[in-house]
Amino acid sequence: MKTIWEIDKLLGLKKTGDYRYEGTLCTGEFEAMGDYGRGILYVIIQSNEDSSFCPMSISTIDDGVWTVNGVLKKENTEKLANEFIEKFGNVLPSEHVLNEFLRNYKLFGLYTG
């Protein structure tokens, strides 16, 4: 059995590739979509400068996704991820606060189902 502190170490955004961060975060005040009462959601931040992927997504384990629109350039990916980690840690803010943060990068997110 894992202690709460061991589980907490598993949470958070981690660099998983060039221009890509992903991880499980606490739902916190993010109510734009449900989390099946589990209190966690999966987050991906990635450059989409050379692809058709969205630059950020928040999702449940099986369905439902909140996607970010806009282009996240490679040189801004690490900056955005680090600022996100510094500002929010392992807990998602409300949709409004998150969109205010993303506006600095000319990005905007919404629930897309």
> What residues have CB less than 8 Å from 52, skipping those under 6 apart?
none
Structure confidence by residue, pLDDT tens digits, 37-91: 888 999 999 999 999 899 999 998 777 899 999 999 999 999 999 999 999 999 9
Where residue 23 falls among pLDDT bands split at 50, 70, 90? very high
Cα dist. 109→3, 8, 14, 99 in Å? Answer: 34, 26, 21, 6
**Domain boundaries, position 11:** 4-111
CA angle (5, 38, 2) in 5-degree steps: 25
Number of independent structural domains in the chain: 1
- Tallying the residues shown for the chain, one arrives at 113
Average pLDDT over residues 25-36: 90
